[in-house]
Homo-oligomer: A and B are copies of this chain.
């Protein structure tokens, strides 16, 4: 009997290797503060660490422990992973991956660098960035620029499997970090400026076989939306919910890309992500709501089916790409405990929703300069319930007109740079852009693999101000800024909050900063080799807490430096806006690791 039981147990274990097992392992591993096992820190996207050896009292004494060059220049988004004695570091195109032996003088255990056609570079709209690696089941997952998703043996760096997720010749590129949920590797796609019909795709963890694919727009069977069971704001979305919001076949080149971060609630078995801008950027070429671009998605990871959706910016007129991360936190709102989802959208609104059903709880501006909308209609009985009220003056519907003074700029009050959440303070720490724009749409025709933008932009700080960024603390229960630290440039680095009562972030000039989580008071700064657009992470090794961040100026804000552009309207308007950046930093690609003496 005992033997039989044991045999059964072995069988169950064997079956679940790489399956539910991977998920359980990952979830458990992500709760070990010594490691940093996911690109987002944990499934909830908190980017919060229980480590507190480094704290508000001693962070001023932080010093650099060691450094590492990735051997690549241009924008370094994302953060390394740490699992036990090994750190995994990634870089932008050509996407080198290093395994570093933390136990032996940080020697390089292995390096993987894919061979990729450099012709992918010109189809990467906003620098050759890569947002990081995923780990599960003894494998490291890399999403290459050319959209290849590759599984590497974490011990040797040898390729276990690879899958081609898209076609760079159509403008489809890979920039996002994969996320492993249960026995699936999820991966989004970039190409909203090239008329890609974007989607989220799941591959089998062990074989790399495509499991399901869910587009952002198209017929119900392509978008994996159920007319009855998928809801928006509590109501079934109905048949052809996407198709009927597009004119003709425009949805086939409709954008709605999926290159942001992914979060997951194991209890609800739902994962969350945002879809991006509809294409083109010229709104008059695509009448309708352009569903489900600009949408928060809650899907079942096993099937890809959508449980609920919420479109934040119907019929986008400003490129307020909805891809930013969804942070899952349980909060008491109006005296009621809620499983919330908090999201800081490019459109300048900070949303709090009930993540079980997509109920809209809070929608408030997290930058007071946001002017394109007077706010979201929160009246449940209104026919426009849940929609932002557009301020006529800042509509860009009219083509060939330069629409001036719109705030935020296209890169949003926040872009991909992820916020952090501290369960201790109950606050969200948000790296923001404080930038406005002029936006002139024009007619553009589609050619596969060619830019399909249809707007000329210029960017600048809000009138009368010189700072282009703020690092803020946000109360998502009320939708209020608690404190705000000015920064000269957009804060394009991801935040890290810790149990030490501190929050870390990086600046485009290259400073790593630590501030007091309660007050925002600066406690430490260090000038790293290049501008920081990476995300701060922390780990413990050998009894010591370390904080690490990638430097390497670039990304959309730094595209002028990264790609050597000087025309102010180049880089989709960012080059002129961030021209002063060259007085502070230049290209790089380095990891800086900090610790206490």
Q: A residues within 8 Å of B by Cβ? A: 61, 63-64, 66-73, 96, 98, 105-108, 111, 510, 526-530, 551, 582-592, 597
Contacts and interface: CB of A to CB of B under 8 A. Distances in A.
B551 A586 contact: no
A587 B552 CA distance: 14
Contact of A587 (B63, B69, B582, B585): B69
- Most interface-central of A96, A590, A597 (chain B CB within 10 A): A590
Contacts of A551: 69
A544 to B, nearest CB: 15
Q: Which 3 A-B pairs have the closest CB atoms?
A: A69-B588, A71-B586, A69-B529
A590 B590 contact: yes
A96 B564 CA distance: 13
A529 B72 CA distance: 12
23 contacts: A61-B597, A64-B64, A64-B67, A64-B526, A66-B527, A67-B510, A67-B528, A67-B529, A68-B527, A68-B529, A69-B551, A69-B589, A69-B590, A71-B73, A71-B586, A71-B587, A96-B586, A98-B586, A105-B527, A107-B584, A108-B582, A108-B585, A590-B590
Contacts of A71: 73, 530, 586-588
Contacts of A98: 586
Given A71-B588, A529-B529, A597-B597, A108 B583 contact: yes
Given A106-B527, A590-B590, A597-B597, A585 B69 contact: yes
Given A551-B69, A582-B111, A529 B64 contact: no
A193 B529 CA distance: 35
B69 A108 contact: no
Contacts of A588: 69, 71, 589-590
Copies per complex of this chain: 2
Contacts of A529: 67-69, 529, 590-591
- Most interface-central of A111, A528, A597 (chain B CB within 10 A): A528
A522 to B, nearest CB: 14
A514 to B, nearest CB: 16
Contacts of A527: 66-68, 105-106
Contact of A63 (B70, B73, B589, B597): B597
Contacts of A61: 597
- Most interface-central of A61, A67, A70 (chain B CB within 10 A): A67
Given A63-B597, A69-B586, A529-B591, 17 more contacts: A64-B64, A66-B526, A67-B67, A67-B510, A67-B590, A67-B592, A68-B527, A71-B530, A71-B587, A71-B588, A72-B73, A73-B73, A96-B586, A108-B582, A108-B586, A111-B586, A597-B597
B586 A530 contact: no
Contact of A70 (B106, B584, B586): B586
Contacts of A106: 527
A548 to B, nearest CB: 13
Contacts of A586: 69-71, 96, 98, 108, 111
Given A529-B529, A590-B529, A597-B597, A584 B108 contact: yes
A595 to B, nearest CB: 11
Contacts of A63: 63-64, 597
A73 B586 CA distance: 12
A589 B111 CA distance: 19
A271 B171 CA distance: 60
Nearest to A66: B527
Nearest to A68: B529
Contacts of A582: 108, 111
Nearest to A91: B586
Contacts of A105: 527
